[in-house]
Structure 1
Amino acid sequence: MVVSRKQELPLINIYIKGTRLKQKDQFKYLGSLISSDGRNNSEVASRIAQAKTNFQKMKTVLTNKNISIRTRRRALECYIEPILMYGCEAWTISKQTQKKLEATEMWFRRRMLRISWTAKKTNDTVLEEAHTTRLLISKIRKRQATFFGHVMRREKLENLVTTGMLEGKRSRGKQREKLIEGLADWLKAGKSLEAIEATKDRKKWRTMIANAVKQGT
């Protein structure tokens, strides 16, 4: 597979014992879907679909009003959210991706409370009835920040891959948002380099993460 921003990918011919390997646009590696465009849109869509499928399998429990909403929320966090957030440490969360994830979170809440779309209840009303707030994006960002801090302090190959620069010219138009840029914004850490520097102090980094989670951003 060739990872490139170009719409037309270059053809690569690799042979093993006279047999040409098939070039792929996507493939699954360790449970995550890798795409040739370098984006995680397909992976996020796949995770959302799998989480909804497993929610339906547990529907008799998660939508049972004889069970307290607190217990059902715990079941959701234990069995469904790990499926949704698997591999999220490597996601770049664009505004579009965030909207999809937040919509999925509300999809869970509405079905747990058996609220039909025809009821025309606002998301705020649904969250109030569920005795909770929006937590999914904050959970994902926390996992990303914790993992990122670990990678930066190791100063191994993963560090180089995350912070390294590629030779060549920048493409035209708006540049893609990087993982560290999204984290720096969430942590209110200023520029990316300031966030990277902050990871060296484990206690300071943990405090920044805790403050960001507390703010509910």
Structure 2
Amino acid sequence: MAKQTEISARTAQAKINFQKMKTILTNKHTSIERRKKALQCYIEPVLMYGCEAWTISKQIQNKLEATEMWFLRRILRIPWTAKKTNERVLNEANKRRSLVRTIRKRQATFLGHVMRRGKLEHLVTGKLEGKRSRGRQREKIMDGLATWLGPGKVSDILAAVKDRDLWRDMIANAYKQGT
């Protein structure tokens, strides 16, 4: 729950910053490409600060995708009463969903950095001793990265981290394929 409140706070801060830059980001005389670049440079870093430590569940992923669409609809000046699907908005903006993919890429890059350093891997991989709590088990960062990177066990992924070129190729392939 703490991660969800952190992500909600990050989303709120990004939307506040968007409103501060609204005159630039919604200006009709500025090209859509330039407005998207401004969004990517000034708003998305506020949203993604500390995302390397987030555990992204399906619910959080939906919230992040909704935030991304909120930004695009504001940039394109599409009112909430317009009945345009997200796919139409993405086509109009000539863009693919990229926020969750970028977060996953940053998480994988951070994991590779930490694992190659060799000092904190017991914290990253989640191998802690003790009893498991009751109820549905919490999703771990490694579980999310394992599904994003493709077929393979967590142990295979941790072995691939040691080879930097292989790791970069795995991340690049997963990023190209999308979520």
Normalised TM-score (structure 2): 0.96
Higher relative contact order (CA 8 A, sep 6+): 2
- 3-state SS of paired residue (1:125): helix
Aligned to 2:118: 155
Give the 3-state SS of the residue equivalent to 1:118 in structure 2.
coil
Query: 2: CA distance between counterparts of 1:189 and 1:81?
Result: 29
Of the candidates 132, 145, 158, which is equivalent to residue 196 of structure 1?
158
Distance between the aligned counterparts of 1:125 and 1:83, measured in 2? 26
1:93–1:179 contact (8 Å) kept in structure 2: yes
TM-score (normalizing by structure 1) = 0.80
Q: Secondary structure at the match of 1:204?
A: helix
**Any idea what SS the aligned residue of 2:94 has?**
coil
Task: Tell me if 1:207 matches 2:177.
Answer: no
Structure having the higher strand fraction is 1
Give 1:34's aligned residue: none
Write the letter of the residue equivalent to 1:88.
C
Structure 1: stretches of 5+ with no match in the other structure: 1-36
How far is 1:175 from its partner? Answer: 0.7
SS of equivalent to 2:81: helix
C-alpha distance 164-59 of structure 1, shift in aligned 2 (>3 A): closer
Could you tell me whether the CA contact under 8 Å between 1:189 and 1:195 is conserved in 2?
Answer: no
Q: In structure 2, what is the Cα distance between the partners aligned to 1:80 and 1:62?
A: 10
Which of the two has greater helix per residue? Answer: 2
1:11 aligned partner: none
CA contact (8 A) 2:122 2:128 kept: no
Identity of aligned residues (%): 66
Question: Larger Cα Rg: Structure 1 or Structure 2?
Answer: 1
Tell me the residue number matched to 1:146: 109
Runs of 4+ with deviation above 6 angstroms:
none
Residues 51, 83 of structure 1: 8 Å contact kept: yes
